[in-house]
Structure formats: C-alpha cells, structure tokens
Amino acid sequence: MHHEQVRRRRQTTAATDESAGDGTERLHHRVYVVRLAHPRHPDVRDCYYVGMTGLTAQERFENHKAGVKAAAVVRRYGLELAYEWFDDIPPMTFADAAQCEPTLADELRDRGFVVFGPTNRPPPPAPPRARRRASKKR
C-alpha cells in the first residue's frame, strides 16, 4: 500500500472511530501479534510484538512495514502476523483493547517468549546506587 493511501485510510477511520452515533462505543479495536526475526534471539526463542489497532490487523502490519506510525522493531524485524495468538479474540472497545493488549503480552512472556509491547507488571526496582567516596586532598 502506498503511503498516501495508508494516510487517507487512517484519516477516514479516525473520523468514525469512537462512537456508533448512538452514544455507544463501536467494537472495532483489536489486539494483534507480529512474529519477529530478532537478531539478538535467532533460533533460540520466538519473538513477538503485541499491539492494538482500530484497523484490521493486516492493515496495521502493512503500516508498520511502510513506516507509518511504526514500531521500529516491527518495521525492521516483523515477519508476519501470528494469528494463532489473537485470531479468536473478538473486536472490542478502545478501553477493552487497551487492557487486553498488555495482558496478552504478559501471557506470552509467561510462556517463555521474548515480547515487545506493554505490560501490566510493575517495573523492577532500580538497583541501589553506589555512593561516591569523598576524595582525599593531598
């Protein structure tokens, strides 16, 4: 898809995104998973990127590869959509997708995969900082 077509599609989608016109949210956001060929983990562990979109998963993947609102890791290393991890998840509201995205990413991490994407987990504590000694003046 040409960049201009991608932009035009995104603009028309954004105009109709949030409501169905009757005050209810449309169920059109999806979470998706991209299989990555990451050079730090070749043939060792499967690598994935988890995201969410108001487009179809295929359209979003094409946008990543074309550099439109792209995650660098998907643009550089994205191979294909990993439908086995998200195909049975139905469309949902934006708020539900925003909760589902990190949950799916954490589930894949728990299975031992390398995952790029959000998490629901708290960040690890920062390591203690070494104290600097005062230098002795001679």
pTM of the predicted protein model: 0.73
The pLDDT of residue 103 is: 96
* Boundaries of every domain in the chain: 26-116
91, burial (CB in 10 Å: exposed 0-12, middle 13-18, buried 19+) = middle
Distance, in Å, from the CA atom of 6 to the CA atom of 59, rounded to the nearest integer, reads 8
How far is residue 81 CA from its own chain's centroid? 12
Q: What is the 3-state secondary structure (H, E, C) of 15-79?
A: HCCCECCCCCECCCEEEEEEEECCCCCCCCCCEEEEEEECCCHHHHHHHHHHCCCCCHHHHHHEE
Distance, in Å, from the CA atom of 70 to the CA atom of 100, rounded to the nearest integer, reads 20
Is the pLDDT assigned to residue 85 strictly greater than 70?
yes
Q: Please count the helices (runs of H) and the strands (runs of E) in the chain.
A: 4, 4
Lowest mean pLDDT among 61-65, 76-80, 87-91, 123-127: 123-127
Distance, in Å, from the CA atom of 122 to the CA atom of 132, rounded to the nearest integer, reads 29
Check: CB of residue 32 under 8 Å from CB of residue 105. Answer: no
Is the pLDDT assigned to residue 15 strictly greater than 50?
no
Average pLDDT over residues 5-12: 43
Report CA-CA distances (Å) from 125 to 40, 105, 112, 114, 129: 25, 21, 22, 21, 12
Q: What is the pLDDT of residues 22-72, one digit of tens each?
A: 556 788 999 999 999 977 767 777 899 999 999 999 999 999 999 999 999
Confidence label for 130 from pLDDT (cuts 50, 70 and 90)? confident
